[in-house]
Amino acid sequence: MLDAAKACCERWGIEKVTVDDIAAAAGVSRATLYRLFPGGKDVLFDALRVRDIEEFFTRLTAGVAGADTLSELLVRTVVVATTDLRGDDHLAIMLASEPGDTLGQLTVQGLPRIIRMASLFLAPLVEPYVGRGDSSRLVELLSRLVISYFLAPSDHVDLGDAESARQFISTYILPAFEFTSGTSLIAASPTGAL
């Protein structure tokens, strides 16, 4: 079921997926889907690991998972990603996910909440790179970061373990930003340190 929901998201995008799509892809009726999940959004939340990433950022802010090292890595990742924001099918999902838009309850209730949470945490760290008050770009970058997380394989990652979380970022998040020239972009960042 979750794999089917994830496949639907990758195929049609989060904002276009319907409960009927997921049920059909999973080969079950809509009645069965509602027997397994409280609502349609819950299927997507589980499939896209929305609650996992919430916990991910929560633990980062609490310093449980080696926040200093990981946050620096996240900031560097965000800055590197500034080079090119185009060509990402899933980016627009996040960019448009503000209350009052036409994306429906999922994005209104779920994803922007995550972005807000992450923004509060990363804003002071990113500020030296993108400038104060440039929140729109920060939201874009965080969106891409979050989506990278969503699209990663659903293998178990112990987000409470610093090494496991760091390995996860190196494996799934950094490649998603499609480095075009190895470490050259990293070297172009303000501090130059990693």
CB closer to DNA, 40 vs 110? 40
Question: What does the alpha-carbon distance between residue 72 and residue 138 come to, in Å, rounded to a whole number?
Answer: 15
Judged by CB under 8 A, the stretch of 10-18, 31-39, 52-60, 74-82 that binds a copy of itself is 10-18
- The nearest distance, CB 11 to a copy of itself, in angstroms, is 6
11 binds, among DNA, a copy of itself, none (CB under 5 to 8 A by kind): a copy of itself
32 near DNA, judged by CB under 7 A: yes
34 binds, among DNA, a copy of itself, none (CB under 5 to 8 A by kind): DNA
Q: For the CA atoms of the chain, what is the radius of gyration? A: 17
Cα atoms in the 13 Å half-sphere on the side-chain side of 189: 24
Q: Which residue has the tokens 């939201």?
A: 139
Question: What does the alpha-carbon distance between residue 169 and residue 32 come to, in Å, rounded to a whole number?
Answer: 36
Question: Which of residues 63, 83, 84, 104 is near DNA by CB under 7 A?
Answer: 104
Question: Which of residues 7, 28, 91, 96 is near DNA by CB under 7 A?
Answer: 28
What SS3 class is residue 43?
helix
154 φ/ψ angles, rounded to the nearest 5 degrees: -85, 25
2 near DNA, judged by CB under 7 A: no
| Contact of 91 with 139, CB cutoff 8 Å | no
Q: Which residues bind a copy of itself (CB under 8 A)?
A: 11-13, 16, 20, 89, 102
